[in-house]
Amino acid sequence: MRSLSQGKLVFLVALFLVIFDNMSFFDNVTKIYPTIGNNLYFVISLAVVLLLFTNILLTIVSSKYTTKLFLIVIVLISAFTNYFMNTYNIVIDDSMIQNSLQTNFDESLDLFSLQLLTYAFFLGVVPAYFIYKVPLEYKSFRQELYSKLKSIILSLVIIVILLLSFSKYYTSFFREHKTLRYHTNPTYWIYSVGKYMNIKFNTNLFG
């Protein structure tokens, strides 16, 4: 198998997540912005923004000793998240995370199905196996840092250009349709995990 740099692997995983694990997000987006006329270009720009934002997020958490582990965990959880959002039309927020942690074994068994196993295998296990097996090329710390900064800055520049180019659409997207962001995968469930842990920490610390 051909070796990849950390940056290329991170970008490929981000691309995979946007294409295969965001069906719920784009389904909900196109209900509000039907893909006709300029709406089509906006939806394409939204996909690019999501890709670049996901790339930034994964780039930040990647390092020589954590890249593969983090990416494997993310694709596995995202596969399950994708299934539950598509099947039950739900979002994975902090309250949903709390409810899932309180679910007993019998209740968990009721959720299993052939469709869930299909999602888990093709969108979770298969890409996780690829991530595990692909050889990574590691550069020096300074070179890796430079590569990360270049990737993050380039991604941010393109995001800003797209936001400005479709400012009318993004204004309505962020102001009037905030709930659409709840369907982004993996960004929203990662945010929700952080929010849940923060609530639990503050509760245990102060109360």
207 within some domain: no
201 within some domain: no
Provide the domain count of the chain: 1
Q: Which pLDDT does position 97 carry in this prediction?
A: 87
Question: Using 50, 70 and 90 to split pLDDT, how confident is the model at 155?
Answer: very high
Q: Give the three-class secondary structure for 71.
A: helix
Q: Which pLDDT does position 180 carry in this prediction?
A: 95
23 within some domain: yes
Of 10-14, 33-37, 140-144, the poorest mean pLDDT is in 140-144
Query: CA 151, CA 58: separation in Å to the nearest integer?
Result: 11
Domain that holds residue 53: 4-196
141 within some domain: yes
59 within some domain: yes
As a dihedral over the C-alpha atoms of residue 117, residue 113, residue 184, residue 152, rounded to 10 degrees, the angle is: -10
114 within some domain: yes
Residue 207 pLDDT exceeds 60: no
10 within some domain: yes
202 within some domain: no
pLDDT, tens only, 121-152: 999 999 999 999 999 988 888 999 999 999 99
Question: Using 50, 70 and 90 to split pLDDT, how confident is the model at 105?
Answer: low
